[in-house]
Every structure is written in C-alpha cells, then in structure tokens.
Structure 1
Amino acid sequence: MIDKKNSCKTTTLENGLQVAVIRKDGALFSCNIGIRTGALHEGPAQKGICHFLEHMIFKGTIFRSNKTLNEDLEYLGGEYNAFTDYVSTVFTITALQEEISEGLGILNEMVRFPAFPVDEMEKEKGVVLSELKATLDDTESLTLNLLNRKAYRKSGLRTDILGTKTCIKGFTRKKLADFHSKHYVPGNAVLTIVSPLEFSLVLKIVKDIFGSWTGDAPKKNEISFEKNRPGRFKSSKQMEQSAIGMLYTFELEEHEKLPLRILNYKLGNSANSMLFRKLREEMGLAYDAYSDLDLTDRIQSLTIYTQVHDDSTEVALDIIKGITEGLAQGSVISDRDLEVMKKVMKTGVMSTLEDTHHLCSSIMDDLIEGDPPMKFLEDIEDLEKITLVDVERVAAKVLKDPTIFILRAGD
C-alpha cells in the first residue's frame, strides 16, 4: 500500500497555486486541476455559468483553434475530461507518463488562455440547452431536481448545476471572460498529479509551466447550510412508473462522518443494501433503489431514490420509511453487518490506490474540501475504532424529518 509520508508531497507555489504530487509506480500519469468555484458561488443572473465555462474551455485557446486543441488532446493517447459540481470545476488528463509535460502544458493553456470564440459560444448554448431539456425527460434527474426545489427555500441547490434557460441564453463573451478572469487564478486553484516520476522532476515541470500564472483568490458568494423543509410533496408526469425521492440534511462533526458513510453502505449503497434487498429482492417492486451521501461542507445531505409501478407507490414508501425509522431507532444493524461494511470500505480504498486516475481525483476532492491529501488512509485507521453505538447515534441524528417528493405516473 502507498505510504503517505513517502509517496505524497504538497506545496504552494509563490503565485498561490496549491499542488499535491503523489509518486506511484506504473506507466501512467494523471493530473487534475480544480478551480474552487462551482454552481453554489453563482449569482442569480449567472446560473449555469460555471458549467458553461467548463464547456467553453475545450473550444480553443488564444494559441490553438477548437480543432487543433482537441486534436492535440487526442494525440496524448489517453483520456481527458472535465466536470462541474456545486463547489468546484475540475479538468483531468490521464496518459502515458512520458506525456506529462505536454499534458500539463495543454491543461495550463486551456485554463489560462481560453479564446471564447463567439460562434462556438452560440453553438454551445444549443448543446447545453439540449442537455438541460434532457433532464426533463430523465425521470431520475427530474425527480431529484424537483425534490431539491421542495426541500430548500433559498439555497443554490434549488437550481440544477446546468443553470436556467434564461441565464444560459443570456451569456455573452464578456460575461464569460469576466467570470473567468476573476475565478480562474492560481490563488483559487488546486493541482494534483500522480505519476511514477521523482517529486523534484514533477515539481520542476509544474513550476516551469504554471509559475507565471498570477491572481489571488477572489471574494466569492457566501455558501451557507440550509436545513431541508420536512414534508411530503407530489407532482405528476406522463411516464411509465412513479418515482420516490427522499432528502435528509444535517450538520455533522468530523468524527460523525465515517460512521455515516458506513451506515450509507448498509442503507442503499451496495448490491446487498437494505433498500435493494427489500424493494427488489424480497418484494419485486423496483429494479433499483439506492441512497446517495454528500458530505461536502455546507451541503451535507443523504438522498434516497427509487422507481416503482404507480400502484405500488405507497407500499414502497412505507417500506423505505420502515427501514429508515428502524435504523434511526438503532434496532437493525448487527455486529456482522458492521464488519462487512468495514470490509467494503477498505476494499474501496484499496481500489482507489490501485487506479492512477481515481487516486488523483480522490486527492483533488480532499484538497477542495480543505482536508489533508489521502485522507482515506486516515479513515482506514479510524475505521477499526467505529462501533455499532457510533453508527446508531449518527443514524438517530440524520434519519429524521425528511423531505419526500413523489413524481407520479399520470397526465
């Protein structure tokens, strides 16, 4: 297993860029550059600008056209991608280790010198608006978006990361360029690299490429935690099945997060979870049922989702409530369950350590959240100390007063 002390080095360049370098044997390198600005930092007239900007970063730089940039990315022979979430925007490259200088050079050029060609902007608006419309056709996406709108009164979580139709149509080159110049600065960025190369060599490459980048961290819109609004809400849509979404929000201390992650595995995050076993295997009501945990600071939520035949909606909802209420009362999980869940978490960590890309992304997540890199290694040590009492306490704290949204099949 990777030794954190000898395999991971962190530094902050003079320009403010935070860098984490991990040495891992193998033929590949992976790098992520993350901007600490996401959908929750957007103003009312900016909804979707982080995601739209992410798209436009791939549409050419002041040195390379759209076609040339993407051909050069392809020529690396690996994988490249990007994503936007509520607190960050991240760009990734994974390729053969001999491509590290070229890969980092292209990434540097993309995030620092995008061209924002007007013709490409107009075409991309159509692409993103199509993407937004697709969420209305996707039952799961629509249900979870509507669930958030019912659960929150003020939070930016009410709005899809893609933004709104009005805002997307209103984006101009100037608005994009102004947002970019404010947020795409080294003082607001994190760079993570996993490769087999020596630390000194990687750091030299990083300084040579990113050292001339300038800009301090900007003042951003404050993100505050909002408790969900408890209650049951519903709507209808012409479709084949009905969907059920449940949302819990909470504010946990650091030591409570690991027990909750263990609980989530048992509740709905494995093929043998309580939700899956009951709703699918025992009752035959649903093809899938899951729970999703978000421990991002100032978001902290747990979501449950499933789809069932409309006639089975109330039965399925009663089953879900029975499971969550039983967990909250501390009468469901056994010592064997706890042992299995610990093994599952350990397996997940080991899988991350084996995969260059996943390891790089995991460390990026740590740094964006303000955690030490490779925090999961600390979690492995702490895992052995977790008891059933710890899990039961966090279940009682979290699994109460949910927002329930039902999207029923109908006209």
Structure 2
Amino acid sequence: MQNTAPDTFLHTLPNGVRCLVLHQPWRQAVNLSVFVRAGSQHEARRFTGISHVVEHMAFKGTATRSCQQINLAAEALGAEVNAHTDKDHTAFHIDGMAADLPAFVALLAEIVQHSTFPEEELERERQVILHEYTEFDEDPVSMAFRLFDRACYGLHPAGQPVIGSRANLERFTRADLQAHVARLYTGPNVVVAVAGPVDAPAFARQVEAAFGAMPGGTPNTVEAPAWQGGVKLRRMAGSAQCQLVLGHGMPPLADAKHTAWVLAAALLGEGMSSPLLDEIRERRGLAYHVGCSADVGALAAQFVIDAATAPEQADELLQAVAVLLQRHAEKTDSVALARARKQLAVRALRTLEQPVRRLEAAVQDVYTFGRVRSTEEQLQALHDVTPAQVRRVFATMAMRPAAIGLAGSVTARAREQAEALFVAEGRAASTIGA
C-alpha cells in the first residue's frame, strides 16, 4: 500500500497498472472506473479526436462479445456502462451492486484491452460522432470555449477540442484506432478505481487477474503549453446572443500556488452574492448567465470567466469585468473572502458523498502526485491562502494578456473592447479603472 489518504487504498501492479479503492462502507453499491491517461492533449494534430472515437468504439465489440452482448452483460446485473473523454484522460465506467464487482472488473478489462473495432461498426459509429460534431460546431457556447482554448494555447494539443476535426473523423481507420490504443493504453497510464464497500486486497487480486497482462511502458507525457492570449471570434448565423469566455493561465495542480487562484475565482464569481454576479446580473442586468471558475489540470490550468449577453451589451459587460478585476487587485473584501473560502470547503466535503466526482479527483491526484491527497490536506491549503496572495492573483492577471473566445452574434465594438481592455500591450490601469 502506498502513502495516500487514510480512507483510500492504492496498489501498483508489476506492469504499472494502479488499483485504487475509496472506502465507502456505508454504501451497498459500487462505482468502478478504468482511467487511461490518453486524451486530446496526447494527440498529434492529424489525429485530433481519435481518443474520443476509441472511447465510442470500445463498446462495439471485443474478441468474445458483440456490442449487444456487452450491453446485456451489464444490464443483466442491473448496471450500466458508460465512458467519457477529456483533455487528459479517457475513462470507462460501470456502477451496480457491490456483490457484482468481480464481474464488473472483468467486463471493463475486456472492453479496455480487447476491443476489436469492427469495420462495419466503425462506419456506423462514424456517422453518430459526426452528428455529435455538428451539434458541437453549431452551439455558440461550445464554440466560445473552443475558441478560448485556441486563444490560450494556439496549435498545442492543449488548445484542440476533444471532439477533434470533421476531416479527421471522416478518415480515421480501424488501424488508426488500434495503433492509438497500442501506443497509449499501457500499464503506467491506467488506474482501475472503485468507490464503495470494497475489500481492498480482494479487489487488488481481481485487478491483477484482469489487467496483469497489460503491456508495461512509460507514462504518457506532454510538454506544457506556452500561454498565448488574444481574441478568437466566430460569428454564427441564427444566434441572438454574444457568448464570451475570457481567462488567464494559472498554476497547474502540482503547483501549490494554484489554491490561491481557485480561491480568487470563487471570490469573484461563486454564487449570487459574488461580485461578478451581483454587479453584472443583479445590479446592471447585462447577462442572465455569468460565472467564474478555475479549471485545474495537471498539464495546464485556466482561470475562466464566461457569460452570455446581448450583442449591444457585450462591450459594457467587458468593461464591467475589467473594473472588477482591477478592483480586486487593489483590495480584498474580508467578508467576500470568508464566503468564498467556506463555499470551497463545503464543495470539498460534498465531493466525499459524490463517488463519480471523487473518483475522478482521486485519479487526477494519482497521476499528478502518485498518491491521493486527504480532504484535510486540501482544506488546510485553502485555509492557508492569505488576502495578499489573492490580490496577487488579480494583479498578475492585470499584467498579462488574456485569452478571449467570442461566438454567436458579435459586434465589431465588442471585439475592439476585448482587445483594448484585456489583450493590448501596455494597456493602462486607467483604461480599466474608470
């Protein structure tokens, strides 16, 4: 057992596969996931989107079961299988009764290691994924976030969408999928994680029996992207709103300074009483939706403000955001800081009761630190952030070019304001302080 949080069990097999147990003895069900460190940031440009295609195709047949037999094997036990792809990983999930955990481990092991990617299934699923791509491509909110990522990181894989490109989706072959799995689906990149009332040593034996023959190898690593900044825009016919995503690069998960940025994001935009929502929505009516969050990853992280507003109000909204950021670089309100600190603490405690979210957070810790941080450790880090550190976060943003994605109905004035307030070199504090 490796050094980790007190309610967890972490064991590494000889081939590098790790098995992780989050003890939840009060439950009668289990949530089992297999995480693979293979996401869109691990893809060369000509293969963008392939991790997502592999995720879809993994359920379309294995060496011993058809797509229909896979679904029936889970549903006959009252369980359901699912999966998702993110920038830094792909994950396969199943949940059901604790007594059926050995069957769940065997089923996910088969899906992850022995999918055959049948040609006829690939052609059918290709159409499904292209429909998904069209939905993504025609949605102004999704497009604004896509443009924002590109403004953040340019052509680095961290700046490309998980869904990939239409051209790639139309040409991927079965051989491409097999090569992707052979390259990235290796022992040190796999964590088999379960939350529930689990006998940890027995689970470790089940994982070893199911994944012990998986090839070894080295961790899938990617060079961290350089921050770029700037404005990316797409006008979209039929959209009556301007979708805006604005943000800055922040320290990644392994850097302890990221906690101050997380607290700053909560202070600015967590809840209806936060300065962002109070000023922009409640007092000025500039948006129905506006929010602020910290997207903290192992490779890169983003401090993000997103909003939807009327095209004619976009420049006023941008001005209001700029004023708020400058105000918080100069002064930290003690009441607002205490409110944000408490909200983040409650969120961390709620996560303990949400097995899916907790599994993902724990596996991210395993990939980043080689262990799972305890809740107490994370709460202490939050408690230790000082008002001066929070002000420094906002001051840092004031000195750096932001990345901005604008989609939907976007006026020339909105783009000009975005450039002048957040991107232009040498912009003066007086420009955003009025």
**What TM-score, normalized to structure 2?**
0.87
Q: Report SS of the residue matched to 1:318.
A: helix
What is the aligned partner in structure 2 of residue 131 from structure 1? Answer: 132
Contact 1:35 1:89 (C-alpha < 8 Å) held by counterparts: yes
1:278-330 CA deviation, whole Å, 9 max, x = no partner? Answer: 22111122110112322213322122211111111111111111112222x23
Contact 1:28 1:356 (C-alpha < 8 Å) held by counterparts: no
Query: Which range is displaced more, 300-309 or 46-55?
Result: 300-309
CA RMSD of aligned residues (A): 2.2
Gaps of 5+ in 2: 412-434
Tell me, in whole angstroms, the C-alpha distance in 1 between the residues paired with 2:211 and 2:10.
15
Amino acid at match of 2:194: I
What is the aligned partner in structure 2 of residue 19 from structure 1? Answer: 19
Tell me, in whole angstroms, the C-alpha distance in 2 between the residues paired with 1:286 and 1:385.
34
What is the aligned partner in structure 2 of residue 391 from structure 1? Answer: 390
1:119-175 CA deviation, whole Å, 9 max, x = no partner? Answer: 110111111111111122211111121233334333123321111111111111111
Corresponding position: 1:351 with 2:387:
no
What is the aligned partner in structure 1 of residue 259 from structure 2? Answer: 258
Contact 2:59 2:70 (C-alpha < 8 Å) held by counterparts: yes
Tell me, in whole angstroms, the C-alpha distance in 2 between the residues paired with 1:116 and 1:382.
45
Q: Report SS of the residue matched to 1:243.
A: strand
Corresponding position: 1:280 with 2:261:
no
What is the aligned partner in structure 1 of residue 170 from structure 2? Answer: 169
Alignment: residue pair count: 405
Change (3 A) 1:153 1:203: closer
Amino acid at match of 1:46: F
Amino acid at match of 1:340: R
Amino acid at match of 2:383: E
Tell me, in whole angstroms, the C-alpha distance in 2 between the residues paired with 1:371 and 1:269.
30
Change (3 A) 1:212 1:221: closer
Change (3 A) 1:201 1:233: closer
Amino acid at match of 1:404: I
What is the aligned partner in structure 2 of residue 369 from structure 1? Answer: 368
Task: Tell me by how many angstroms 1:233 deviates.
Answer: 4.9
Contact 1:9 1:22 (C-alpha < 8 Å) held by counterparts: yes
Query: Which range is displaced more, 401-410 or 155-164?
Result: 401-410
Q: Report SS of the residue matched to 2:20.
A: strand
What is the aligned partner in structure 1 of residue 228 from structure 2? Answer: 228
What is the aligned partner in structure 2 of residue 48 from structure 1? Answer: 49
Gaps of 5+ in 1: none
Amino acid at match of 1:379: Q
Percent identity, please.
Answer: 23
Contact 2:291 2:306 (C-alpha < 8 Å) held by counterparts: yes
Equivalence map 1:41-80=2 (5 Å): 41-80=42-81
Contact 2:37 2:90 (C-alpha < 8 Å) held by counterparts: yes
What is the aligned partner in structure 1 of residue 191 from structure 2? Answer: 190
What is the aligned partner in structure 2 of residue 152 from structure 1? Answer: 153
Tell me, in whole angstroms, the C-alpha distance in 1 between the residues paired with 2:319 and 2:140.
21
Amino acid at match of 1:59: K
Contact 2:10 2:371 (C-alpha < 8 Å) held by counterparts: no
Equivalence map 1:192-207=2 (5 Å): 192-207=193-208
What is the aligned partner in structure 2 of residue 178 from structure 1? Answer: 179
Change (3 A) 1:276 1:212: same
Change (3 A) 1:10 1:164: same
Query: Which range is displaced more, 148-157 or 378-387?
Result: 148-157
Equivalence map 1:91-130=2 (5 Å): 91-130=92-131
Query: Which range is displaced more, 310-319 or 151-160?
Result: 151-160
Contact 1:228 1:249 (C-alpha < 8 Å) held by counterparts: no
Contact 2:31 2:356 (C-alpha < 8 Å) held by counterparts: yes
Contact 2:266 2:293 (C-alpha < 8 Å) held by counterparts: no
Q: Report SS of the residue matched to 2:298.
A: coil
What is the aligned partner in structure 1 of residue 321 from structure 2? Answer: 320
**What TM-score, normalized to structure 1?**
0.92
Contact 1:152 1:229 (C-alpha < 8 Å) held by counterparts: yes
Q: Report SS of the residue matched to 1:336.
A: helix
Query: Which range is displaced more, 178-187 or 263-272?
Result: 263-272
Tell me, in whole angstroms, the C-alpha distance in 1 between the residues paired with 2:208 and 2:370.
23
Tell me, in whole angstroms, the C-alpha distance in 2 between the residues paired with 1:113 and 1:393.
50
Change (3 A) 1:185 1:341: same
Query: Which range is displaced more, 72-81 or 126-135?
Result: 72-81
Query: Which range is displaced more, 136-145 or 253-262?
Result: 253-262
Q: Report SS of the residue matched to 1:305.
A: strand
